[in-house]
Amino acid sequence: MINKQQIDDLSNEFVLSDKFKSSDDCKYSVRSFVNWVKNNKGFEPDVMLLAPPKDINKFPGKSENGDSHILSIIDGYGIDFTAKQFDSNQPLIKITQESEIESEYKKLGGYFTSYPNWFENGKTFIKSKFKDLPQWFHNGFKKDTVNEIQNHFIQYGYHYTTKDSYKRIESEGLRVNQDVNIKVTAHDYWMKPAYGVKPIFMGIEPLKQFGERRPIGSEYNWVLLKVDVKRLDIAADLGILTDYGAHIEEDGFWFKQKPKWLDGSEFTFEDLQGSDTFDLVKVINQTKSFVVLEDIHPDRIEMVDYKGKLSIKRFFGF
């Protein structure tokens, strides 16, 4: 166990790190802090998720419909880096004895109610590890994260398909959950759990997407597509990350030896869309590949090459 002074010191050290952002809402702030402690101090704090207020006129929250709140818990103390967002008179780091959190946060934000009945059996709060919070919380967090990291840094991706499939793509576009997007084997069990869909695999250069690469002279009647991916929802290519030593588990992946271009060695599937310990831009620049998590309209797709069109000299100078 650590004492109050050590918790103060730990919290201040986090605020001085490059992982702290004063603009983060409570979800991002807590997740950043939990991951920072886990990666730098060797243990994982608990979190406490508070039921939202009933009086949404008095406590409208960010959504204006009443929001839940979350804070970190270490050895009997709650740590909150977002209390100033309720009241500018609150400290940057609000540390509250766990036994006093309910009374304090009822005054601060109207929390610890049984309305709406989001928590099982009428509970007014949930205390657990971040990864063990209810699925509805993670679904909402994932949706918020996708909105935050919608692609603004990659203009085009390259995708291989068959000549037969291209006839459909010309009219329907590229779609998620299509077997033709990737030849799935028994080893690719992770795809749906990792992304929620069977994604569309892309390379930022030709021949860099996950799955079968199409070399010149291949018997396969391949077609190379250039796809405008600006502002589409994207994520890192977990298939390629296995080439860098990623080990895939039921709820995430890890590296025995941390790559220099990552800030941690253990990640959840949610991290694939970018997080404080998983820099999506840096990862894509390293792997030269990524995935798209939504359907792509035909207007964004251009056929730039097909088997028999390109000479070897031009191919290697692509």
Give the domain-ending residue among 118, 148, 178. 148
The structure tokens 């699925």 sit at 135
Which amino acid, 164?
D
Q: Is the pLDDT of residue 207 over 80?
A: no
Cis peptide before 60 (omega within 30 of 0): no
Residue from 274, 92, 304 nearest 205 by CA: 304
Please tell me the predicted confidence (pLDDT) of residue 154. Answer: 83
Radius of gyration in angstroms for the set of CA atoms belonging to the chain, rounded to a whole number: 23
Average pLDDT estimate for 247-276: 88
What is the C-alpha to C-alpha distance for residues 185 and 48, in angstroms, rounded to an integer?
A: 40
Domain interval for residue 288: 156-316
Structural tokens at position 180: 């033709």
- Does one domain contain both 58 and 169? no
Q: Which residues contact 89 (CB under 8 A, 6 or more apart)?
A: none
Confidence class for position 103, pLDDT limits 50, 70, 90 = very high
- Does one domain contain both 222 and 311? yes
Give the domain-ending residue among 129, 148, 167. 148
Distances (CA, A) of 179 to 84, 96, 137: 49, 52, 30
Cis peptide before 91 (omega within 30 of 0): no
State what percent of residues in the chain have pLDDT above 70.
81
The structure tokens 């005054």 sit at 107
Q: What is the mean pLDDT of the chain?
A: 81
- Does one domain contain both 162 and 308? yes
Please tell me the predicted confidence (pLDDT) of residue 62. Answer: 60
Q: DSSP assignment of 148-177, as one string? A: HT---S--EEEEEEEHHHHHHHHHH-B-TT
Residue pair 273/146 in contact by the 8 Å Cβ criterion: yes
Give the domain-ending residue among 148, 180, 211. 148
Confidence class for position 153, pLDDT limits 50, 70, 90 = confident
- Does one domain contain both 73 and 209? no
Residue pair 32/276 in contact by the 8 Å Cβ criterion: yes
Q: Is the pLDDT of residue 135 over 90?
A: no
Confidence class for position 231, pLDDT limits 50, 70, 90 = confident
- Does one domain contain both 52 and 77? yes
What is the C-alpha to C-alpha distance for residues 90 and 72, in angstroms, rounded to an integer?
A: 17
Least confident of 73-77, 179-183, 295-299: 179-183
- Does one domain contain both 78 and 188? no
